[in-house]
Amino acid sequence: MTVRSVKFLRPLTATVCSAALVLGATTAVQAADTKLPDTMTWSSYDVGSAGYAEASAIADAFGKKYGTRIRIQPSGSSIGRLQPLLSGRADVGFLATETFFATEGVYDFSTRQWGPQDLRAIAGRPSSFGIFTAADAGIETLADLKGRKFAYVAGNPSVNVKCDAFLAFAGLSRDDVEAIMFPTYGSAMGSLARGEADASCTTTTPSHVYELAESPRGIRWLNMDPNDKEGWANVNKLAPFFTPYKETIGAGISEENPVTIMAYRYPVLAVRADMDAETVYNMLKAVDETYPMYKDATSAMPRWDVNLAGVPPIDAPLHEGAIRYLKEKGIWTADHQAWNDARTARLNALLEAWPKAVAEGEGKSDEEFAQIWEKHRQQALGAL
């Protein structure tokens, strides 16, 4: 963790769920050429989320093969997942788009207590993300969402900005729906089955969407036309990391009943930039070596194939330890390196701009500081 991160990070332990899952077989023998710590702590999304299920499956494989004991610390908020990682209480974060937001210093991370964070990615599987509705709600297109009850998650820009991007695709905004803010990811995703909302957005495989599909209300995913240039231009203004994606896996989705939505990376295995390169190298190596053990744990786990999950674009620059392993495997290309160099330069520019904004904002209100930081942020990005 950088000195700047320590200075500007305020304790928020109340946001972190105290429940934890310890996984790992203590009798397993550490593989001779893959050295992992005896114990590790990972942060993740709530219990019941795809991220938690996948972290659990990989942690179980690590325990069986290497004897490493993994404690998974779930949280329903992006801050609750990131703070343990940045403070050193967690070694790895199984994160979502908060990885991108934190490196950019935007949304929840634009305040004086945060600012851009020096993060690196180890890997992140391709993941689709879509708008789902209750089948009995009479919502068949994104335009039909106008005036309907839409579930958002308090303190979770990772989910909320994606929901806003979907609305933008249809020329709508949060003001055009009845936005209902739920306290946790789990409560928001479960709100449709409880009849408390008509629509929300998430990945296609969490337990909550399967529960809705099997409930009396049923489930419907809303398609996005990949050829709608205006719609995608609107999306990219809010979330430039999305691309059109034809999904065949998920609740109410199959090869025979696909849906065209968007793709990004989730979960993203994120670490601090100063994490030891050898540890990161062995972490990605272990993800690759144990792949046969966990690839069938959920329908999305095959996408953890390192050829898919280990390459950019992704929410943060790849860590040098991960790149070393990818080079050894013959996966890392000159184009990947060029992407990583440009992404690192962007992050470094924001890290250099932050102290200047903090100094200029001394004694100013939070609203004034937000404007000052955005000015410095745009100047830094414009100079690249």
Co-location of 120 and 26 in the same domain: yes
Confidence check: pLDDT of 61 > 80: yes
Report the number of distinct structural domains present in the chain.
2
139 and 251 fall within a common domain: yes
Residue 26 shares a structural domain with residue 70: yes
Closest CA to 343 of 89, 100, 70, 15: 100
Q: Which of 235, 264, 293 is the last residue of a domain?
A: 264
Same domain? 62 vs 138: no
* Six-digit token string for 17: 């769920």
134 and 258 together in one domain: yes
Q: Please name which of 166, 165, 167 lies closest in space to residue 175, comparing C-alpha atoms.
A: 167
Tell me: do 260 and 270 sit in the same domain.
no
Angle at 244 (CA atoms; ends 137, 119), nearest 5 degrees: 105
Given pLDDT bands bounded at 50, 70 and 90, which one contains residue 32?
A: low
pLDDT band at 78 (very low <50, low <70, confident <90, very high): confident
- More confident of the two residues 9 and 363: 363
Q: What is the mean pLDDT of the chain?
A: 90
Domain boundary among 210, 229, 264: 264
> What tens digit of pLDDT does each residue of 337-379 get?
999 999 999 999 999 999 999 999 999 999 999 999 999 999 9
My answer on whether 223 and 370 are in the same domain is no
Tell me if 195 sits within 8 A of 217, measured CB to CB: yes
Instruction: Say yes or no to pLDDT of 29 above 90.
Output: no
Task: Read off φ and ψ for residue 20, nearest 5 degrees.
Answer: -145, 155
Q: How far apart are the first and last CA of the chain?
A: 25
60 and 15 co-located in one domain? yes
> Does 215 or 1 have the greater pLDDT score?
215
Backbone dihedral region for residue 252 (phi beyond 0: left; psi -120 to 50: alpha; all else: beta) = left
Instruction: Look up the CATH number of the domain holding residue 237.
Output: 3.40.190.10
Determine contact, residues 263/129, Cβ cutoff 8 Å. Answer: yes
Query: pLDDT tens digits, residue range 274-333?
Result: 999 999 999 999 999 999 999 999 888 999 999 999 998 889 999 999 999 999 999 999
Q: Which domain range does residue 361 map to?
A: 3-127+265-382
Which of 248, 264, 280 is the last residue before a domain boundary? 264
Asked if 166 and 202 touch (Cβ cutoff 8 Å), the reply is: no
* In a shared domain, residues 188 and 305: no
Tokens read off for 306: 């390192």
> Are 133 and 256 in the same domain?
yes
Q: Are residues 7 and 47 in the same domain?
A: yes
- Give which of 203, 134, 147 is closest to 179, Cα–Cα: 147
Cis peptide before 313 (omega within 30 of 0): yes
Structure token pair of residue 237: 């203004």
pLDDT at 157 over 90: no
100 and 166 housed in the same domain: no
Written as one string, the DSSP assignment of 59-82 is HHHHHHHH--EEEEEE-SSHHHHH
